[in-house]
Homo-oligomer: A and B are copies of this chain.
Amino acid sequence: MASTDKPGTEYYKEVQPPPPPAEQYFVVNVALRVLLFASVLTAVLVVVTSDQTKLIPGLGINLKAKFNQSPAFIYFVVALSVTGLYGIITILASISVLFKPISSTKFMLHFAVWDVLILGLVASAMGSAGGIAYVGLKGNEHVHWGKVCNTFDKFCRHMAGSLAVSLFASFVLVLLIWLSIFTLHRRIPK
């Protein structure tokens, strides 16, 4: 295997790792994380401002729709808030690595490990809020769960918007994990 002719050049060629794309990685990484933070912040704000009060004409009573009337929407807001906080922390960590690029592969590893958990959190929260929102939109006649969206149009528009933005956020998380995996893979010598 190890040819001994021209040991100097061989040595240089073999030991040199493939081009370390650490800086490039961390720049894209920070950009995606800023996008993640912005999208979950938007999604949370859109849900939190979805309150709607409606006067029912015949009965003369006020009905109110608020996200905290449903445990699924509470879970959604909490999960996205945790993701937003995680976004801030990892943006700061990524920037710190950009200025002091020591042990960048360790950081990539940690990011990937945590990103996977956060993806599970966001996807499940999106699923539960989406499931409830769908019943609110269409109702379910088998169990006599009535529609909500024909009364609370603004509330449902906010929910739909927030769900779309959180879907985008989970795509960003998938891209972040893929970025880490591809960068780790590229640093393995062929």
Report which A residues bind B (CB closer than 8 A).
2, 4, 7-8, 10-12, 14-15, 17, 65, 69-72, 105, 108-109, 112-113, 116-117, 119-121, 123-132, 134-136, 138, 140, 142-146, 148, 170, 174, 177-178, 180-182, 184-185, 187-189
Contact = CB atoms under 8 A, between A and B. Distances in A.
Contact of A130 (B15, B128, B170): B128
A181 B124 CA distance: 22
Given A123-B119, A123-B124, A131 B72 contact: yes
In the complex, the count of this chain's copies comes to: 2
Contacts of A130: 124, 127-128
26 contacts: A2-B11, A7-B7, A11-B15, A17-B189, A65-B142, A69-B140, A69-B143, A70-B142, A72-B131, A72-B135, A108-B185, A109-B185, A112-B181, A116-B116, A117-B174, A119-B123, A120-B120, A124-B124, A125-B127, A128-B130, A128-B131, A131-B132, A135-B145, A143-B145, A144-B146, A187-B188
